[in-house]
Amino acid sequence: MKPAKAALTGLLAIIAALAAGHLVAAFVGLSASPYLAVGNAAIDLTPSWLKDFAVSTFGTNDKLVLLTGMVIVIAGIGVAAGLASRTSPTPGTVVAVVLGVVGIAAVLSRPDIGQLSVLAPLASLATGAYVFRYLHKEVQQDESRRGFLITAGLAVAAGVTGQVLGSRTDVEGSRRAIGDLTPKTKAPEIPVNADFAKDGTPSFITSGEDFYRIDTALSVPRIRAEEWTLRVHGMVDRPMVLTFDEIRQRDLVEETVTLTCVSNEVGGPYISNANFVGIKIGDVLREAGVKSGADQLFSTSDDGFTAGSPLDYVLERGLIAIGMNGEPLPAEHGFPARLVVPGLYGYVSATKWVTDLNVTTFAKEQGYWIPRGWAARAPIKTMSRIDRPKGFGKIQGRTVVAGTAWAQPKGVAKVEVRADGGPWQEAELGADVSDSTWRMWRLELDLKPGAHTVECRATDKSGYTQDQARLDPVPDGATGWHSISFTVQ
Ligand SMILES: Nc1nc2c(c(=O)[nH]1)N[C@H]1C(S)=C(S)[C@@H](COP(=O)(O)O)O[C@H]1N2
Ligand SMILES: [Mo]
């Protein structure tokens, strides 16, 4: 057999094998693609000094460098296997089987991949062995041209189809593959009297679908956990790169935290509450060793959004969250990981799809919204909202006023309500779950038929009662008492 034809036989067989694996992986989770699984296993096996070197040398191209290197190695193996099989197809078949087994081992070694995923490297093994023997026979019968063309065509079609199908379902596959996130420290059980949902407050825990969503992303960044990394650098002694697996293998904590958007108007909807699972940023930063003089944690998302958080807040209570309400984060809320810092508005803390943590100073870096007119430092203001009655509603019978109050991280101590400018009356409060969460309240009023206006105001645990002055959300959050007008019939 001519060397060129022998080499091409090996090369095409290996391409066909990878393409078949990629196609099957589109259905069982793209990270099961033998090609990607071997790459990810290589990343995991890489010592962290080499990883840090690759990231600092090639930046975000480090993955491209790795995958290109793998193409060259794999092509080389294919050519060598072909050349070794000039008289008999056995050596090439053995290579196909050995590579298939390596692929299976790579897939099985990944803790984030389900059992079914093994079908992808199995498909590669079978295709590689079959195509190699088929081409080998065609070459010996001098009908190689047709065989080469068919194989190349089918391989390209399978690979492209796998990539298109796979990258579409990709993120959901990656989320599913993660399965349950079991925190070592669970958030305390939410007592039944934490909300007054039947009186019109939101439910204490907001579901992923109901959770408010604010971001600058035109399309939700689609990042798979298997390929995601978080870089920690800047004013630290030991820069680090964390993978999703490294984070989930640490002691996970669960905390109930209420997120709030600075652009929320008085009475507005941009506030929600969830059980977040993750690790303490403080633990990571202490491992990295924060240098003196740093006062800002500057976080960057995959889509380029940035936020700057005061380092003291972050060290005390910041989380790198990978789960929300018992599941991996929903794609819209930052999958695979986001920051959650109780007490800070989202735009200066809650970076979704976070990929980079830079320990720096406020003097040096400005987050996305700061040059656009918003304050660099934005702790959440003590506020409250009336959820029922609805504005301009009509009420039959007794009047129940119910709502929400928040003052993360101080906590809500008291909510008062008044009708028609009369005396303030203290509302009944829902269970005090955590100072990082909202607190629900309700009050029954005895109002005569006719038009009425009710107002509410919260007092936090530091003793501060929220300001009456109506301020716009720009630059650091709205203030003012929420009021609702309605009619009792
Ligand atoms: N990547 C990214 N993260 C982001 C934002 C963004 O625009 N891009 N918006 C922030 C703002 S302003 C808020 S209020 C919170 C909202 O988080 P949520 O959409 O999960 O409720 O995310 C923060 N994180
Ligand atoms: Mo926000």
Q: Which domain holds residue 80?
A: 3-166
Examine the domain organization and report whether 315 and 337 are in the same domain: yes
Asked if 364 and 273 sit in the same domain, the reply is yes
Least confident of 71-80, 354-363, 439-448: 71-80
On whether both 117 and 78 belong to a single domain, the answer is yes
Supply the residue whose CA is at minimum distance from atom 8 of ligand 1: 215
d(CA 350, ligand 2 centre) in Å:
8
Query: Is 410 inside a domain boundary?
Result: yes
Q: Which residues line ligand 1 (CB under 6 A)?
A: 211-217, 259, 261, 301, 303, 305, 333, 346-347, 350-353
Ranges 127-136, 314-323, 440-449: which has the least confidence: 127-136
**Is the same domain home to 366 and 397?**
no
Question: Can you tell me which atom of ligand 1 is nearest the CA of 215?
Answer: 7
Statement to judge: residues 87 and 162 lie in one domain? yes
Q: Which of 265, 276, 300, 347 for mutating ligand 1's site (highest number of atoms within 8 Å of CB)?
A: 347
Is there a single domain that holds both residue 352 and residue 223? yes
On whether residue 378 sits in a domain, the answer given is: no
> Which of 144, 166, 188 is the last residue before a domain boundary?
166
The answer to whether residues 260 and 321 belong to one domain is yes
- Whole-angstrom Cα distance, residue 211 to residue 202? 11
**What's the CA-to-centroid distance between 257 and ligand 2, angstroms?**
15
**Residues 300, 338 within the same domain:** yes
Q: Which pLDDT value is given to residue 138?
A: 86
Does residue 205 lie within any of the structural domains? yes
Q: Is residue 171 part of a domain?
A: no
What total number of domains does the chain contain? Answer: 3
Residue 221 domain-assigned?
Answer: yes
Does 425 fall in a domain?
yes
Residue 446: give its domain's CATH number. Answer: 2.60.40.650
Q: Are residues 136 and 12 part of one domain?
A: yes
> Quick check: pTM over 0.85?
no
Percentage of residues in the chain with pLDDT exceeding 90? Answer: 64
103 and 9 within one domain = yes
What's the chain look like in SS3? CCHHHHHHHHHHHHHHHHHHHHHHHHHHCHHHCHHHHHHHHHHHHCCHHHHHHHHHHHHHHHHHHHHHHHHHHHHHHHHHHHHHCCCCCHHHHHHHHHHHHHHHHHHHCCCCCCHHHHHHHHHHHHHHHHHHHHHHHHHHCCCHHHHHHHHHHHHHHHHHHHHHHHHHHHHHHHHHHHCCCCCCECCCCCCHHHCCHHHCCCCCCCCCCCCCCCCCCCCCCCCCHHHCEEEEEECECCCEEEEHHHHHCCCCEEEEEEEECCCCCCCCCCEEEEEEEEEEHHHHHHHHCECCCCCEEEEEECCCCEEEEEHHHHHHHCEEEEEECCEECCHHHCCCCEEECCCECHHHCCCCCEEEEEEECCCCCCCCCCCCCCCCCCECCCEEEEEECCCCCEECCCEEEEEEEECCCCCEEEEEEEECCCCCEECEECCCCCCCCCEEEEEEECCCCEEEEEEEEEEECCCCECCCCCECCCCCCCECCEEEEEEEC
Residue range 191-202: mean pLDDT, rounded: 97
Residues by chain with Cβ below 5 Å of ion ligand 2: 214, 261, 346-347
Domain shared by 161 and 21, yes or no = yes
Token readout for 196 is 């007054």
- Mean pLDDT across 90-118: 81
Q: How many CB atoms lie within 10 A of CB 77?
A: 16
The domain that holds 236 is classified in CATH as 3.90.420.10
| Residues 107 and 220 grouped into a single domain | no
Q: Which segment of 141-150, 190-199, 306-315, 316-325 scores lowest on mean pLDDT?
A: 141-150
Q: What is the pLDDT of residue 453?
A: 97
Give the pLDDT band (50/70/90) at residue 176. confident
Report the nearest-CA residue for atom 5 of ligand 1. 215
